[in-house]
Amino acid sequence: MYGSAVIDDDGLTVPHPKLIERRFALEPLIEAWPDARLPDGTPVASFLPEVSDQEVRRVAGASASRTLSTAAIVVTIVGALAIWWIFDWLMGRI
């Protein structure tokens, strides 16, 4: 999701059209962003009961460390800049 933006291009659809149908995507999103809302204002958490029958298991990851945290921050920043660049590029095409 990118704020209230809706992008529907040949190679990019934001938000993902199947997001609300996938528990494995909803649970981490809600955990990281409890107040997440779709562009139309619908709370993302409201879709969780509809997918509660889907099996999801948490995968144990590496223990938290400064290196892991720094890497996560770098990846997040690079990802955010890439999304911003794509959105800016798409808006320039309109």
| CATH 3.20.20.140 for the 1-59 domain, yes or no | no
Handedness of CA 67, 68, 72, 73 (dihedral sign): negative
Alpha carbon distance 47, 40 (integer Å):
14
pLDDT for the residue 20: 93
- Predicted confidence (pLDDT) per residue in 23-37, tens digit: 999 998 999 999 999
**Res. 89 pLDDT band, cuts 50 70 90:** confident
pLDDT for the residue 3: 76
Largest CA distance in the chain: 45
φ, ψ at 43 (rounded to 5°): -65, 130
The residue ranges of every structural domain in the chain are 1-59, 62-94
- Predicted confidence (pLDDT) per residue in 5-64, tens digit: 899 988 889 999 899 999 999 998 999 999 999 999 999 999 999 999 999 988 776 555
**Res. 65 pLDDT band, cuts 50 70 90:** low
Instruction: Decide: pTM greater than 0.95.
Output: no
